[in-house]
A and B are shown apart, each in its own frame.
Chain A
């Protein structure tokens, strides 16, 4: 009969589309496997303990690692997070909870545009803001540049996830006479943790691998980390310079460093997720 035919059709269409969705996920994973695999194969030959514990050596000398650059990346990402997380989160809360429609769309607008600014331009801005007036490249200016990149991502993802917390939870808490700010901090944010953490992780992942804004701010350092007001090295910067250098030794180190960077971000990701899941 017509109805069963229609039903069959719908069922087949259903299956087809679901399979396509699975394929989409598979494609994504395949791309990832290809790129990660390539990074891995190129990087593994150079990857050992020395690579993490040794300082870099000039070309022609065997060995040498990226200890200082790894440390530098941690500092830069840490600095950027310290600046960007409060700003981004609170801005996200404002957008989701307090802003009127016009205000919210104006600020969202600003955030979206900020998110689309090419990172090199952010670097140029941080240069004009901090490096040129202070007459020195510094870790601080790089942290600020990375923070500017992080803020809109954190703010927007925080807002989206806060918005999705069901209204019923909010109303239940309100009905108990709890003040709004405590509801937001105590009920709504915990309800949106997964989304917020995803946003933060995306932001961290993005800035951890950023090269362009560091060129004019962090500059790089041949002699390790020496403070926040002087030049500092970072993994992506070294990856960029080594990957495009003529020496196969350095090219291999670049791949090893890329692999390490991915592992690091993966590690941070897992730790943050474990912490936020266990606490729930």
Chain B
């Protein structure tokens, strides 16, 4: 790209003043430096966050070492802290959330960008983005008072009686638990994934679609073979954005997950997530070790997002190189 621009300016000197050929380069350099500065600011903020958290978490890191990750106990009175159930709960609830949210969001995005007429599409898009604006605690209260009873009675009872032989669907149907948390998370990330993937799909050139249709493809085939592959990296980006929100979501999850420090395969069982644990106990925590452990939990969440991002990055790279080969 850079080379091209240099060529363009030097090859067409007659179009502009002599100085003009030089000025853009200076302007470009300044501009790119400015943008670089702000991009690095993101890294700086992250580094600052990590350093600040590490300082606060140090007492716990020193005391528990690696056993923090494998211990299942959380006892503020005896100051014994372990992260495993919270890590498990975070991953499980986000996974349930994504399993529900990804197909629904991509489906909605396809509908909005490929199928819906303009008059329908605009209000729908508005509404979906509105869902992202409802405060988390309100979604949580709605979840607790409206959704949870519904999940307890028809859904969990039905799952328990028909699929109860699986370890995922055993135990008393309290309503609150991993399943409810996952569904709430799905509701919260659907608008994000939908909105971003809709924009990403819209940006796919019309020619791509026309070429596919001209080959006699049905609309669905056009979507799956021309549109979705073309914007795959954008879609993965959208999902990652949603996952980021799901992993860190606090208030709504806390209202419906049941907040029990549990490690069971049953989706009906109450559990915790890292974010909900930190948010529930942080304001009342006392003592360096207790606060340190809560902060270390947050650091573990950092680690999880890191891992998720590495995996996603690998996926995106692969999809880019696949597409690159085709072009």
**Direct contact between A and B judged by beta carbons closer than 8 A:** yes
Interface residues of A (CB under 8 A from B): 10-11, 13-14, 17-18, 20-25, 27-29, 31-32, 34-36, 38-39, 86-87, 90-91, 93-95, 97-99, 105-122, 124-125, 128-129, 148, 151-153, 155-157, 160-161, 163-166, 171, 174-182, 184, 194-195, 198-199, 201-202, 205-206, 208-212, 215, 235-236, 239-240, 243-244, 254-255, 258, 261-262, 265-266, 269-270
Q: Is the CB of B190 within 8 A of A31?
A: yes
Most buried by B among A10, A118, A177, A258: A118
B302 located at the interface, meaning its Cβ lies under 8 Å from any Cβ of chain A in the complex: yes
Residues of chain B within 8 A (CB-CB) of A195 are 199-200, 203
* Known pairs A109-B313, A119-B248, A120-B278; A243 contacts B141 (CB<8 A): yes
Expressed in whole angstroms, the Cα–Cα distance for A114 and B103 within the complex equals: 25
Which candidate, B62-70, B125-133, B154-162, B170-178, is the interface stretch facing chain A?
Answer: B125-133
Q: Is the CB of A117 within 8 A of B302?
A: yes
Q: Is the CB of A209 within 8 A of B135?
A: yes
Q: Which of A23, A28, A175, A243 contacts B128 (CB 8 A)?
A: A28
Residues of chain A within 8 A (CB-CB) of B77 are none
Q: Is the CB of A117 within 8 A of B111?
A: no
Residues of chain A within 8 A (CB-CB) of B225 are none
Interface residues of B in 294-327 (CB under 8 A from A): 295, 298, 301-302, 305-306, 308-309, 312-313
Interface residues of B in 1-57 (CB under 8 A from A): 4-5, 8-9, 12, 15-16, 20-21, 23-25, 27-28, 30-32, 34-43, 45-46, 48-49, 52-53, 56
- Name 17 A/B residue pairs within 8 A (Cβ), A-sorted: A24-B107, A24-B110, A28-B194, A29-B127, A31-B187, A90-B34, A91-B39, A112-B309, A117-B298, A120-B282, A151-B41, A160-B196, A194-B202, A205-B129, A209-B134, A239-B135, A262-B130
B243 located at the interface, meaning its Cβ lies under 8 Å from any Cβ of chain A in the complex: yes
Q: Which of B115, B128, B306 contacts A32 (CB 8 A)?
A: B128
Q: Is the CB of A113 within 8 A of B309?
A: yes
Whose C-beta in chain B lies nearest to the C-beta of A148? B45
* Known pairs A94-B36, A98-B35, A115-B245; A25 contacts B107 (CB<8 A): yes
* Known pairs A32-B130, A177-B15, A262-B130; A116 contacts B136 (CB<8 A): no
Q: Is the CB of B103 within 8 A of A24?
A: yes
Would you give the shortest CB distance from B109 to chain A, in whole angstroms?
9
Q: Is the CB of B35 within 8 A of A97?
A: yes
Residues of chain B within 8 A (CB-CB) of A215 are 283
Q: Is the CB of B251 within 8 A of A114?
A: no
Expressed in whole angstroms, the Cα–Cα distance for A196 and B308 within the complex equals: 25
* Known pairs A118-B279, A125-B53, A243-B138; A110 contacts B43 (CB<8 A): yes
Residues of chain B within 8 A (CB-CB) of A91 are 35, 38-39, 41-42
Expressed in whole angstroms, the Cα–Cα distance for A153 and B248 within the complex equals: 14
Q: Is the CB of A164 within 8 A of B234?
A: yes
Residues of chain B within 8 A (CB-CB) of A118 are 247-250, 274-275, 278-279, 298, 301
Q: Is the CB of A112 within 8 A of B40?
A: no
Q: Is the interface of A mostly helix, strand, loop or mixed?
A: helix
Q: Which of B9, B108, B249 contacts A28 (CB 8 A)?
A: B108
Expressed in whole angstroms, the Cα–Cα distance for A109 and B131 within the complex equals: 27
Expressed in whole angstroms, the Cα–Cα distance for A201 and B133 within the complex equals: 9
Q: Which of B4, B42, B124, B237 contacts A87 (CB 8 A)?
A: B42
Q: Is the CB of A202 within 8 A of B132?
A: yes
Expressed in whole angstroms, the Cα–Cα distance for A265 and B318 within the complex equals: 38
Q: How many residues of B contact A (CB 8 A)?
A: 111
B142 located at the interface, meaning its Cβ lies under 8 Å from any Cβ of chain A in the complex: yes
Would you give the shortest CB distance from B182 to chain A, in whole angstroms?
14
Q: Which of B24, B139, B141, B306 contacts A113 (CB 8 A)?
A: B306
Residues of chain A within 8 A (CB-CB) of B20 are 177
Q: Is the CB of A32 within 8 A of B221?
A: no
Q: A29-B128, A160-B196 are in contact. List 18 more A-B contacts (CB 8 A).
A: A24-B104, A25-B107, A28-B131, A31-B190, A39-B134, A39-B142, A91-B35, A94-B39, A107-B42, A112-B305, A119-B250, A124-B53, A157-B196, A182-B24, A205-B129, A236-B137, A239-B138, A265-B133
Would you give the shortest CB distance from A95 to chain B, in whole angstroms?
6
Whose C-beta in chain A lies nearest to the C-beta of B310? A109
- Binary interface profile of B, 60-104, with partner A (CB < 8 Å = 1, else 0)? 000000000000000000000000000000000000000000011
B146 located at the interface, meaning its Cβ lies under 8 Å from any Cβ of chain A in the complex: yes
Q: Is the CB of A90 within 8 A of B38?
A: yes
Expressed in whole angstroms, the Cα–Cα distance for A25 and B112 within the complex equals: 8
Would you give the shortest CB distance from B290 to chain A, in whole angstroms?
14
Residues of chain A within 8 A (CB-CB) of B49 are 114, 117, 121-122, 125, 148
Q: Is the CB of B4 within 8 A of A32?
A: no
Q: Which of B21, B23, B116, B247 contacts A25 (CB 8 A)?
A: B116
Expressed in whole angstroms, the Cα–Cα distance for A156 and B195 within the complex equals: 13
* Known pairs A21-B107, A28-B108, A124-B295; A87 contacts B38 (CB<8 A): yes
* Known pairs A98-B32, A98-B36; A156 contacts B135 (CB<8 A): no
Q: Is the CB of A198 within 8 A of B39?
A: no
Most buried by A among B4, B20, B196: B196
Q: Is the CB of B115 within 8 A of A21?
A: yes
Residues of chain B within 8 A (CB-CB) of A244 are 137
Residues of chain A within 8 A (CB-CB) of B130 are 32, 36, 205, 262, 265-266, 269
B286 located at the interface, meaning its Cβ lies under 8 Å from any Cβ of chain A in the complex: no
Expressed in whole angstroms, the Cα–Cα distance for A17 and B106 within the complex equals: 12
Q: Which of A11, A27, A106, A210 contacts B218 (CB 8 A)?
A: A11
